[in-house]
Amino acid sequence: YHFATMYDRDGRIPLYSAYVFQPDQTPRPSDTWYIEPQLVGQGGSDDMENETMTAIDRSRLAESQAISKDYSGCGYDRGHVNPSQHNSGDSKIATFSLTNIVPQNYTLNQGEWRKYEESIQGKASAEGCDKTYMITGTVPGDRKS
């Protein structure tokens, strides 16, 4: 596994993520979004799947997790709970699972929040940490649309 996420299937939102901070200099992966088939029901694969290529019916999928359509025209960015830039290799790709994403105000996500995520990298290195464990979380509202 790449990181741990506590996920609310009813609210279709991650509550928190725990991971080892392991940034690298590789660029952000392309904006391919993944789903978690195991959340749909028994018999689902344990491996994430490309959302656009899955054979799972979209309505069944949307019962247990967020899908890209949820973000279409809603005015919110897809905000990473576990930021991709805090990871490396396959773990960086795994952060593009929609179960690691929350609706986030565009201005915040591209502005102060991005600066905050980037500042963590410098702090962990400056402190001389050999290994840094991170826990990030959300404060879900009661709005469902």
Please tell me the distance from the alpha carbon of residue 15 to that of residue 106, in angstroms, as a whole number.
20
What would the pLDDT profile of 18-68 be if each residue is shown by its tens digit? 999 998 888 888 879 999 999 998 676 789 999 999 999 999 999 999 999
pLDDT at 145 over 60: no
The answer to whether residue 138 scores a pLDDT higher than 70 is yes
Spatial separation of the C-alpha atoms in residues 32 and 93, rounded to whole Å: 9
Q: Average pLDDT, stretch 70-86? A: 92
CA angle 48, 40, 90 (to 5 degrees): 10
Residue 121 has pLDDT above 90, yes or no: no
Given a contact cutoff of 8 angstroms between Cβ atoms, the answer to whether 65 and 36 are in contact is yes
Q: Are 19 and 82 in contact (CB under 8 A)?
A: yes
Q: Among 49-53, 95-99, 123-127, 130-134, which stretch is predicted with the lowest mean pLDDT?
A: 123-127
Nearest to 39 by CA among 86, 88, 6: 6
DSSP assignment of 53-88: T--S-HHHHHTTS--GGGGTTSSEEEEESS-GGG--
